[in-house]
Structure 1
Amino acid sequence: MQKIAFSLFARGTEIAARNGLILVDTKYEFGIDDKGEILLIDEIHTPNSSRYWMKETYESRLAEGKEPENIDKEFLRLWFREHCDPYKDKILPSAPDDLVIELSHRYIRLFEMITGKEFSVDGTHSVKDRLKKNLNAYLI
């Protein structure tokens, strides 16, 4: 499992670097099927499971004693940490709209940087229909 995780991280680091990013850290979730095969069972290298820094500004920001410029959800995580205890509080405050909008912009920007494709939404189908279509494309 360690070999698989390190291989995945190496590939993610390579793709990130090629697209102006530094893959800082991430998580992988594995399972084992009924044949004993190890399976990757969750998304990888998305801003939900990973932290990314901008390669272009990394050196200069470090030289200035600043935190690296990031393009993930860490800023939102920090906001929640300042306003509640997300691990103990039963009800969490709603994040301000401007932070939610900023998160959306970061996710879209990261998608475009990694894939080299422009982000677009198919407005002709419901989210549920799009999910079904995309998941069905990968069912065996």
Structure 2
Amino acid sequence: MGRVTDTLELPGWSHVYSGKVRDLYVPQGTSEGSRPTRMLVVASDRVSAFDHVLSPGIPGKGTILTTLSLWWFDRLAGGDGGRRIPNHLIPDHVLVGDAALELIPEEVTGRAMVVAALDMQPIECVVRGYLTGSGWAEYRESGTVCGIPLPAGLVDGDRLPEPLYTPAFKAPQGAHDENISYERSVELVGADTAAELRELSLEIYRRAAATAEQRGLILADTKFEFGRNAAGTLVLADEVLTPDSSRYWDAAAWRSGGTPAERMASFDKQIVRDWLAAHWDRQGEPPALPDDIVQRTQARYAELLQRLTGY
């Protein structure tokens, strides 16, 4: 995956885990093996592609991811007029006497969330509204996406007749997630939980896609993670509907009839992937990203944030 070397020492918190993009902390003094009272999730500026963390990162990316997640968590908690979808956020301050003590250290303000500790589900909940990526590759071979038959004659970028729920089994760090059938998800988590995961994922996708459409964007596909809190409630966790977990397209470009690359230019790190694919044979450590690739990727993330939220 490449080494993660930019984790911080934060007052009041102990670092326990780093993924490709996020770092996880628990309160200092938390006993090993015990359930922490709260956790701190910090989004870094790291960018990854082809299972490697690249250098340099994308300046401001962690703040953009966190801002978007918080914005979507708020909307899905009823801010868009729909039913409340519970999430893992908890207050980012505590009262000490009459004073409010901020829990997010100044060093990571703007790119960190205080969350509840959850028993995470071993399933990544993928919803596809459009045919593209690995789904398009499978469809060309077999007329299916994750084993689900689709009508003949579709082309790359087509809207699917109905959004597809295609779960994946979460692989260990550094490995690829494994697409699984819905029946396999039932075996992993039980019939009731599998059904709840599917229902929640499809509802969130439809609500988010409608919001994106109002802003001239297409939410082509996305993935969610869920966990159960101490009360046993299934809640939305991790990040949500960010350019790292979702594929957004410009609606006007998609309708333009141009080339697939023009119609489906994503508001994410596709610029990085394309450059790396053209300049690296995937042997050894990947090369450093040029300044113009970093700047173009940064601009793409920032444009998505502005178009969705107005920030």
The TM-score normalised by the length of structure 1 is 0.71
- In the TM superposition, 1:1-140 aligns within 5 A as 1-60=197-256, 63-67=257-261, 68=263, 69-82=265-278, 83-85=280-282, 91-117=285-311
Unaligned residue ranges in structure 2 (runs of 5+): 1-196
Kindly tell me: are residues 84 and 38 of structure 1, through their superposed partners in 2, closer, same or farther at Cα, counting changes over 3 Å?
Answer: farther
Q: Tell me the CA shift for residue 38 of structure 1.
A: 1.2
The whole-number CA distance in structure 2 between the counterparts of 1:12 and 1:111 is 14
Q: Is the 8 A contact 1:84 1:93 kept in 2?
A: no
| SS of 2:303 mapped into structure 1 | helix
Q: Which runs of 5+ in 1 are unaligned?
A: 118-140
The aligned amino acid for 2:231 is K
SS at match of 2:285: coil
Structure 1 CA distance, aligned partners of 2:201 and 2:231? 20
Kindly name which structure, 1 or 2, has the bigger radius of gyration based on alpha carbons. 2
Answer yes or no: is the 8 Å Cα contact 2:222–2:246 preserved in 1. yes
- 1:53–1:71 Cα contact (<8 Å) kept: yes
**SS of the residue aligned with 1:23?**
strand
Q: Return the alpha-carbon distance in structure 2 between the equivalents of residues 44 and 91 of structure 1.
A: 30
**Per-residue deviation, 1:33:** 2.1
TM-score by length of 2: 0.34
CA distance in 2, matches of 1:107, 1:80: 18
SS in 2 for 1:28: strand
Report the identity percentage: 34
Whether the 8 Å CA contact 1:71–1:106 is kept in 2: the answer is yes
Per-residue deviation at 1:84? 4.3
- CA distance in structure 2 between the aligned counterparts of 1:39 and 1:81, rounded to whole angstroms: 37
How far, CA to CA, are the matches of 1:64 and 1:30 in structure 2?
37
Whether the aligned pair in 1 keeps the contact of 2:271 and 2:296 (CA below 8 Å) is no
Aligned to 1:131: none
Q: What SS does the corresponding residue of 2:260 show, helix, strand or coil?
A: coil
Task: Give the number of equivalent residue pairs.
Answer: 112
- Mapped partners of 2:289, 2:246: distance in 1: 20
SS at match of 1:114: helix
**Per residue, is there more helix in 1 or in 2?**
1
